[in-house]
Structure 1
Amino acid sequence: MTVEAAHAPRHVLEDELLRVEIAPALGATITSIRHRPSGAELLWRNPRFNLPASQAESGVDLWLRAGAGGWQLVLPNGGTECTYQGVSHGFHGEAGLQSWRARAGVRRLALSTELSTLPLSLTRTVTLAAPGVLRTDTTVLNTGADPVEFMWGEHIGFGGDLLDDPHLELSCSSADITADDEYHAASNPLTAGARSRWPHADGPDGPVDLRRPRPGSSSLAYLSNVEQPITVTAPGLGVAVAMRWSSTFPYVWLWTELGGEQGPPWFGKARAIGVEPFTSWPSQGLTKVAEKSGTQLRVPAGEGITGWVKTTVSETERTVP
């Protein structure tokens, strides 16, 4: 089913538990995941979406103005705009900004596009695989004559009614934590570049429990050696979202923006928790990824790489304080 929405039509997938909206013209973004029994929206809305362009617009401004929020594809660059191997890449790359072709099936949407910055052909399916189970399967094919290096991430931003629960909790059995070394927001509670073990990150004012994101904070960290799943539970809603992903993504970017950034670009208006499977880190663009971690992908000519992410939404015992 297709519905008209502001700025771009959405394709809708539905089952007993979920209503999912995908916008092919907005980078194949999953703009909404709604839990039907409660009516709760689970994804974030970008408060800067579709604002008028400014004369001082940067790469990140373009991404924020053009992106609706929700679950976005980040490829072939992640984070800061840069020039890498002679190619200019915008903030978070072009895949999440351009229009994709779409073909609808039963509880399934098939999408495809080609990039202009690199010779990459992308195919992606979004499927309601079972009641409450949403899965993306993506293939990236190098159609050029030379190897191609790039980054790929699934920018999954939780928000909406989910973040209205003051007892929201993130759970994970085990992970290594590295705080971003260039994230200097005044409301960031993490020590830049510090390494620790889940669930506590190092902070200048003492350990920070990442299971319970702090209201009014803004932070970015990278998880590795993650024992899946990562689960986001809102006991007040009686809803839990468990995430699993393929080995294509060895890292998870954990981004929180809970009204902490009072300056640009958010001015205190953004409320999101990003749990983002990624091939590479940090969120500083391909050039610095190659320098700092060497985790960029390298795909030979004529070959491809695949990856999947699965979210399972379940109902839990509802606890109201």
Structure 2
Amino acid sequence: MRAVTLENERLRVTVLPDKGGDVIEFLHKPTDTDLVWLTPRGLRDPREHFQGAPDDVAPFADYYEGGWQDVFPNGGAPSEYRGARLAQHGEVFALPWECEVVADSPEEVAVRLGVRTRRLPYRMEKVLRLRYGAAALEIEASATNESGQRLHAMWGQHIVFGRPFLHPGARIRLPDGVTVIPHDVPIAPGGRRVKPGGPWQWPVVPAEGGGDLDLSVVPEPGTPSDIVYLTGFSEGWYEITGEIGFRVEWDAALLPYLWMWQEFGATTGYPWWGEAYTVGLEPFAGMPTNGLATAVENGTALVLEPYETKVLRLRAEVVA
């Protein structure tokens, strides 16, 4: 598969145009720390899979190497939308994207990626940029409805952290006023919570299997798996701090939810087999992980009017 490397004196970022534009390396040079988590199974080419089984419901899990993916237009479980069957996290993560270098100078390097979805009439583009002297990746992405129909979508940044960067005791920081929605709380039409979450005061929330989960501290291996949804962002940002820190900033008006999931080795079956030690902190439009049809029904899905373009700006920075 094709790979593109963007590099300055502080970062090296590697992207796979042939696999959804995945970010598979985010290396902070001064500390020789790769912020990207990669699975023990490694990188696999999804193009081989789709030639033989285009309607399989779980290609994302089968071909997930870790890293950082765009999720569009379906988030979470397989779903059907207006006659189109959409796989788990389908469909742009598995598609080959066009690739063009748009800047290559001492001041900045940048690459533009683009793709059309196959089952819905969308066009996506994103420009990834590194500037001189900055330990930050800047992304400007767009999603365009190329049809005359009013359409819905879920749009997320599937950002997952693991070792060597992630470790027990690392702290997760969020803006004041963020609220927590447990995974099992139903969402009423219009997006209103049937049962509101509590304020983000480094809350302790019930975890699956009993006990409590402190969302602000990365726990020890063996902690039960869980997922919650965070909302109420006046500003879209979070930080993970340890020996070095990592800060993600995004447009929370466009992606108003942050999916937070953890897998610390408690899942001993498919697809983790007890080998994962990860936290996902994923800015999203739409929730929960039940797929696009559910997000449309509960009013949290993104709406794109005929020929409308939505633009997302995101910045990911190492704080050392």
- Whether contact under 8 Å (1:151, 1:297) holds in the other structure is yes
Residue segments in structure 1 that go unaligned for 5+ positions in a row: 1-7, 183-192, 316-321
Trace 1:186-225 onto structure 2 (pairs within 5 A): 195-198=197-200, 199-203=202-206, 205-214=210-219, 215-217=221-223, 218-225=225-232
1:16 pairs with 2:9: yes
225-234 or 306-315: bigger deviation: 225-234
The counterpart of 1:234, out of the listed 207, 222, 242, is 242
Tell me the number of residue pairs that the alignment of Structure 1 and Structure 2 aligns.
291
The counterpart of 1:121, out of the listed 123, 146, 150, is 123
- Whether contact under 8 Å (2:168, 2:217) holds in the other structure is no
Match of 2:161 in 1: 158
The amino acid of 1:20's aligned partner reads V
Trace 1:1-321 onto structure 2 (pairs within 5 A): 8-48=1-41, 49-50=43-44, 59-60=57-58, 62-104=59-101, 105-106=103-104, 107-129=109-131, 131-163=134-166, 165-174=167-176, 175-181=178-184, 195-198=197-200, 199-203=202-206, 205-214=210-219, 215-217=221-223, 218-226=225-233, 227-235=235-243, 239-246=244-251, 247-291=253-297, 293-315=298-320
Tell me the secondary structure at the aligned position of residue 92 of structure 2.
Answer: coil
Tell me the secondary structure at the aligned position of residue 61 of structure 2.
Answer: helix
1:118-149 CA-to-partner distances (Å, cap 9, x unmatched) read 11011111111451111211111111121111
1:137-185 CA-to-partner distances (Å, cap 9, x unmatched) read 111111112111111001111123112x333111113210011129xxx
The amino acid of 2:292's aligned partner reads L
170-179 or 45-54: bigger deviation: 45-54
Tell me the secondary structure at the aligned position of residue 164 of structure 2.
Answer: helix
Pair 1:148–1:171, CA change in 2 (3 A): same
* Counterpart-to-counterpart distance in 2, 1:40 and 1:305: 33
* Counterpart-to-counterpart distance in 2, 1:147 and 1:47: 41
CA-based RMSD of the aligned residues comes to: 2.3
* Counterpart-to-counterpart distance in 1, 2:204 and 2:180: 7
Q: Stretches of 4+ moved more than 4 A in 1? A: 51-55, 204-207
- Whether contact under 8 Å (1:43, 1:159) holds in the other structure is yes
- Whether contact under 8 Å (1:195, 1:202) holds in the other structure is no
- Whether contact under 8 Å (1:73, 1:95) holds in the other structure is yes
1:261-289 CA-to-partner distances (Å, cap 9, x unmatched) read 11111111122211111111111101122
Match of 2:190 in 1: none
Tell me the secondary structure at the aligned position of residue 229 of structure 1.
Answer: strand
- Whether contact under 8 Å (1:26, 1:66) holds in the other structure is no
- Whether contact under 8 Å (1:149, 1:299) holds in the other structure is yes
User: 1:207 Cα deviation (Å)?
Assistant: 4.2
User: 1:200 Cα deviation (Å)?
Assistant: 1.1
- Whether contact under 8 Å (2:11, 2:26) holds in the other structure is yes
User: 1:253 Cα deviation (Å)?
Assistant: 0.5
- Whether contact under 8 Å (2:22, 2:69) holds in the other structure is yes
Give the TM-score taking structure 1 as reference length.
Answer: 0.84
Aligned-residue identity in percent: 28
* Counterpart-to-counterpart distance in 1, 2:91 and 2:80: 14
The amino acid of 1:67's aligned partner reads Y
Give the TM-score taking structure 2 as reference length.
Answer: 0.85
1:43-85 CA-to-partner distances (Å, cap 9, x unmatched) read 1113344399799x9522x112223221100001000001122
